[in-house]
Structure 1
């Protein structure tokens, strides 16, 4: 891909935004090196995996990458036999936990939606939980080696604590002596160089013996280890050396265990970073309200309400562009500051984004093409250093393009032919356009030259376009109008600004008849377009009104049919009761006949009795079916997330998880999911509009929900009372249990510990909780309780 076009179209700024959404350093590296692909199959694969991540994040929330760092250098050292420090080993344990959590996250999502590409990415990740458990058994969350790491370490530390206690007792007894206190600067025990010392006045040095380990700046105070504790200090030093030696042995052993799996873990570290990068693409799409574009390799492009991703949402004006169908080149004319350049950049940048596997900020149904090259000559690029004028700079860029442009290229030209004599510039512009059009590439060019309007009008496959300008307000609207050439607004603007009428008339007389005719024709076209737009809007309003009336009539018809069915049901129920009564009487008669036949040896045929009974059973009327809304009507449209009634289950209510595309829907009924024909469903309530993510707030505690209202892995209880927290936790655990979450995080903060103690006491008795513990290193420590569900 042309690097100059990437720079000109500000593709690097999109990558900067993308890196901000990556949670890991490897994910940020992947985002920073993303480049567009010219291979259609590769582009479709990139978009497909981005779409899977987008749907999964909407269903399950953001993936759990917390605590995962780049530990590839540490793994390489362990592989070569080097010893890792406690904090480095803990980072590896966090990586192993992150691998397991991401695999579980994807597996849980795969049970509800199809995400084969993400499953393929996480399937090779190894489960090294035994190694993680061994590291956590030996090292705590703060990176300190625990006593439980080995019996030898526990014994050494026990000896250290005993030795320190004996030394302190002896020194405390010494400094409490009245005769000794006058020799001390202060009656305290301190430490110098891992040795316990007391601060002695310089003149009493000989009284204590022992070793001087330090002195004050003035020399008046000596920090002495008295001879009475010298042997105890030496013994304590030996125990500390034993402790350090045992810690080094433990770290070497753990490092060797890591080294055995170093290659696999390094590969998983990179894979996890790549998965993070994919979810960063999904998060960028959500932030831009972007959609999945349809891709093709036939040069066809159709953007619906496309928005430049670097312009704030409230300021950007959407544009509609089609290219590659009836015409392969668009010539955009209009005044400066009208938005021509922004429209040019929007088409180019969105094409680059789609070819990189990114969603594009446009409406559903947008189509983009995979080009083998995108070439852009945009902006005033005159270079003083290279002694190039604006014209020379444009020509240099164009010459560099012409040798590389193919029929599968997209060429974007801003102010074509500008910077020189108008006559020569327009002629050169037409010649360049004709050459590029002959190659068969896709072209969007902007210009001020009116001669190019005639060229676009007369040339097959080329169409005029313009940026709309409101003469009444003397301001551009920034809307791209394809099919309407730009008109000159200079005289109209001058008149509106108050230029004398005589000057306006004189200027109009200087304009040639042809130019006036063209301007009048363009004005007429624009007027017709406005009228057609107004009529289209009126027709749209009428269509909406008719649709509303149709829904109202459908509702009335449905109510009528429902009432009719109810009356029929009542009548038939009465008939069923009558027939049932008759049936009972008939059974009694048949029984009497059979008894009579047996007693009197009468020749009553058994099959005749059975046939009579069958006719009685058939006389019972069938239960009337309740009416259903017509399929296809908007009032009956059913989508994911809707609450529905299932007719075949007696009107049982449930929620639609997804539509399978084969006329069936997967419906969640309590803890059970089942496939049900769409025709067997009815909306139970009006569908509420959804947003990318919404939050349910309760007394300063929040439970975040995604588009599908799924349950998050954590509940924030900070700021609530204990009673409020218990109610919220009870409801949350029920929802988490129904959502098959194996582990949840209850965030209660550290504080006084009252909230933590109350929550843990509640968890101890809860029916869904198998076990609970405080958060580990990287999980929030004592501020979080981790509950494992049954």
Structure 2
């Protein structure tokens, strides 16, 4: 991309804002090298990085970059065999600590949608051993610590001992010979402890003179008494320097061994700081991530110029590249046409650089191979070129380079020469650019270009709105509406007489008048459409609110209905449980009284089973409603009808009609009176021819659902069983119980053999524990 466009569109000011957002010198250097990418995949990747970092900042705050510095010069020196001082070694240790801290912070994030950031953080190499070695040798002030080696500790102990001895001796001089001293202090000259002695007492003190004051009245003398101690101290300090140099040399060698991973860490940290700087800039601009394409489509809503303050900027909607490839903007000076040009160009450069743009979510921007602009006064005194010549020189260069992957911005196209010729040139230039399928936005004053926009399918007119009432531009861009001349209206508002204005109108051509009238009509239609749109939006919001209120009320009603059903079910369940408990008590009492000796054990088991199954059938609301409809029937019930007892969820047979609303029903071994509303007919009794009634043991008026063969001889039992099965089939039973007892098992075996041979018996199985177990066989009849 051509370098000139950065200064023309003031992209360097965006770079400056981005640099301020970086936390480290590494990141700042990276921001200053930022250039737009021209490959769609690269741009999309950079935009994704920025957006993921922005989500992290919003949810967790900024990442820790504080202790990270640029160590590349140090790495370069150790890589060629040089040694680092303590401060440089400390910077390496700090970078390792900062890298480890940053990696841990990113890994601990609970944000799953940041794979690109996590991937970069994963490439940081901790180098824990090297960091530990540096921290064990150098303190936070950049000084080699005593603990760096045992020898250094010993040397520094010796130094402190000698220093204390020298101070003590010199302190004695300051007390006993204070009159000989210019000041009762101990000071240092040439790394040796000395006293400030008056000139006249030089011989009295004795020793070595290391320095004197500017006046010569004070001599800085090392008394003879401490010369030896100072010599010992100097030797110890020399040993200290040798040991410190050795320690730093070893640390430098350790750092040199890890130059490659350290260099990679520097690159990763610089890149991460760069990414988070882009995210912080997006947050400060209240920007959004654009959807990028390589089809030349620009579609932004409420876009704001990023270099204008909030009280100056006006948001605009801009669309280009789908229905039309060129926009021709007309309107008065200072109306914002140039700002609009720069806005589109600057948003494009920002988006292609991985920066989010100040616009609404869902904006779309294109990736161009190049962006060209001819904006501003390009007059060159040195080249003796006029404004027109300078512009044409730039335009000629642009026309030679444009392709279908180019965005072109022309400001005041064709200006600076004869209006008629300038307008013709402007239209020819626009035709050339449009024919090459480039995207172009141009501003102009020429009224001829208004008609040009209507005569080209790929070109659309636009204007910058002007408020005639206030005589000020609103800076709003109006796509599809050409700018109208406001000279007459402005003159009228400023007090020019109507006669003069009417005379001026008569001097202009009818075609110009027609165009202006058309533009005024379009402008009026636009304003009316905006009013209708606003009214429709209000109505839509009210309708949405009403819909939400109705849905809320409906949900509350459904919840309330469900609660009522649950309460009713619970109440019914409690009632049945109570009845079951009472019935259980009655059965228990009867059993204990043993009043009816003929009552057999399996009959008690049958009754107990009936009680156990007497539970409410709790169903969904819809099923209950359907069941209620089924129970409300006016059908007549008759003896022999197979029915369902809705209250007990049991099947039985009507054995007696008590009255029209009450029936006696046989359920297993029990008979009970049931209301008609609690019965549902399952099967009506089929009429049969009159046959002599066969009496079965235990039956006097009808066929029971079971046959008791206990105590019978085998042959008699088989004859009774054969007759009983015939009558059970005539009675319409589906299942019957044959009670044969356990005994020797011969009778049970005979019953089961009988079942295998009878063609109307589908299956035979022993009863459950509560039905008599192996002492009963249940036949299923067909």
Q: Distance in 1 between matches of 2:245 and 2:587?
A: 96
What pairs up with 1:500-579 in 2 under 5 angstroms? Answer: 500-579=497-576
Match of 2:454, SS state, is helix
- 1:447 equivalent to 2:471? Answer no
Q: Distance in 2 between matches of 1:14 and 1:290?
A: 13
Match of 1:476, SS state, is strand
Native 8 Å contact 2:573 2:616 kept in 1: no
Q: Distance in 2 between matches of 1:613 and 1:112?
A: 59
Q: Distance in 1 between matches of 2:200 and 2:598?
A: 140
- 1:395 equivalent to 2:384? Answer no
Shift of 1:529: 0.8
Native 8 Å contact 1:569 1:623 kept in 2: no
Larger mean Cα displacement after TM superposition, 521-530 or 210-219 = 210-219
Native 8 Å contact 1:579 1:620 kept in 2: no
Change (3 A) 1:533 1:171: same
Match of 1:182, SS state, is helix
Q: Distance in 1 between matches of 2:605 and 2:159?
A: 101
Q: Distance in 2 between matches of 1:5 and 1:552?
A: 55
Native 8 Å contact 1:297 1:371 kept in 2: yes
Q: Distance in 2 between matches of 1:256 and 1:90?
A: 14
Change (3 A) 1:542 1:249: same
Q: Distance in 1 between matches of 2:598 and 2:129?
A: 86
Change (3 A) 1:77 1:595: farther
Counterpart residue number, 2:216: 219
Shift of 1:575: 3.3
Shift of 1:535: 1.0
Normalising by structure 2, report the TM-score: 0.75
Q: Distance in 2 between matches of 1:106 and 1:116?
A: 11
Normalising by structure 1, report the TM-score: 0.74
What pairs up with 1:82-101 in 2 under 5 angstroms? Answer: 82-101=82-101
Q: Distance in 2 between matches of 1:437 and 1:89?
A: 61
Shift of 1:206: 2.5
- 1:34 equivalent to 2:34? Answer yes
Native 8 Å contact 1:38 1:355 kept in 2: yes
- 1:6 equivalent to 2:16? Answer no
Change (3 A) 1:345 1:591: farther
Counterpart residue number, 2:157: 158
Change (3 A) 1:158 1:617: farther
Q: Distance in 2 between matches of 1:614 and 1:34?
A: 82
What pairs up with 1:275-294 in 2 under 5 angstroms? Answer: 275-294=272-291
Shift of 1:4: 2.1
Change (3 A) 1:148 1:434: same
Match of 1:446, SS state, is strand
1:244 alignment partner, one of 241, 244, 257: 241
Q: Distance in 1 between matches of 2:614 and 2:83?
A: 90
Q: Distance in 2 between matches of 1:132 and 1:437?
A: 61
Counterpart residue number, 1:638: none
Native 8 Å contact 2:576 2:616 kept in 1: no
Native 8 Å contact 2:573 2:615 kept in 1: no
What pairs up with 1:173-572 in 2 under 5 angstroms? Answer: 173-177=172-176, 180-572=177-569
Q: Distance in 2 between matches of 1:3 and 1:230?
A: 70
Match of 1:35, SS state, is coil
Change (3 A) 1:332 1:188: closer
Native 8 Å contact 1:304 1:362 kept in 2: yes
Match of 1:214, SS state, is strand
Counterpart residue number, 2:78: 78
Counterpart residue number, 2:117: 118
- 1:149 equivalent to 2:148? Answer yes
Native 8 Å contact 1:575 1:621 kept in 2: no
Change (3 A) 1:535 1:239: same
Counterpart residue number, 1:167: 166
Q: Distance in 2 between matches of 1:614 and 1:427?
A: 102
Counterpart residue number, 1:663: none
Q: Distance in 2 between matches of 1:119 and 1:392?
A: 54
Larger radius of gyration: 2
Shift of 1:193: 2.0
Shift of 1:199: 2.3
* 1:242-299 deviations in Å (ceiling 9; x for gaps): 2222111111122221111122112211210111001111111111111011111112
Native 8 Å contact 2:335 2:473 kept in 1: yes
Native 8 Å contact 1:288 1:361 kept in 2: yes
- 1:104 equivalent to 2:67? Answer no
Shift of 1:617: 5.9
Q: Distance in 1 between matches of 2:613 and 2:399?
A: 89
Match of 1:59, SS state, is helix
Shift of 1:466: 0.9
Q: RMSD over aligned Cα, in angstroms?
A: 2.7
Match of 1:284, SS state, is helix
Counterpart residue number, 1:757: none
Q: Distance in 1 between matches of 2:607 and 2:223?
A: 119
* 1:12-51 deviations in Å (ceiling 9; x for gaps): 1111111111111121111111111221111111111111
Counterpart residue number, 1:140: 139
Q: Distance in 2 between matches of 1:613 and 1:403?
A: 100
Change (3 A) 1:583 1:243: farther
Counterpart residue number, 1:130: 129
Native 8 Å contact 2:321 2:439 kept in 1: yes
Change (3 A) 1:607 1:220: farther
Native 8 Å contact 1:596 1:602 kept in 2: no
Native 8 Å contact 2:562 2:621 kept in 1: no
Native 8 Å contact 2:328 2:462 kept in 1: yes
Q: Distance in 1 between matches of 2:146 and 2:583?
A: 88
Aligned residue pairs total: 620
Counterpart residue number, 2:48: 48
Change (3 A) 1:59 1:579: farther
Shift of 1:358: 0.9
Shift of 1:571: 3.0
Larger mean Cα displacement after TM superposition, 183-192 or 306-315 = 183-192
Counterpart residue number, 2:617: 619
Shift of 1:608: 7.6
Shift of 1:613: 8.1
Shift of 1:595: 12
Shift of 1:327: 1.3
Q: Distance in 2 between matches of 1:583 and 1:384?
A: 113
Q: Distance in 2 between matches of 1:600 and 1:104?
A: 86
Shift of 1:581: 4.6
Native 8 Å contact 1:22 1:277 kept in 2: yes
Change (3 A) 1:207 1:452: same
Q: Distance in 2 between matches of 1:588 and 1:536?
A: 78
Q: Distance in 1 between matches of 2:369 and 2:593?
A: 97
Q: Distance in 1 between matches of 2:589 and 2:349?
A: 90
Counterpart residue number, 1:763: none
Match of 1:176, SS state, is helix
Match of 2:382, SS state, is coil
Native 8 Å contact 2:27 2:271 kept in 1: yes
Q: Distance in 2 between matches of 1:226 and 1:424?
A: 100
What pairs up with 1:660-679 in 2 under 5 angstroms? Answer: none
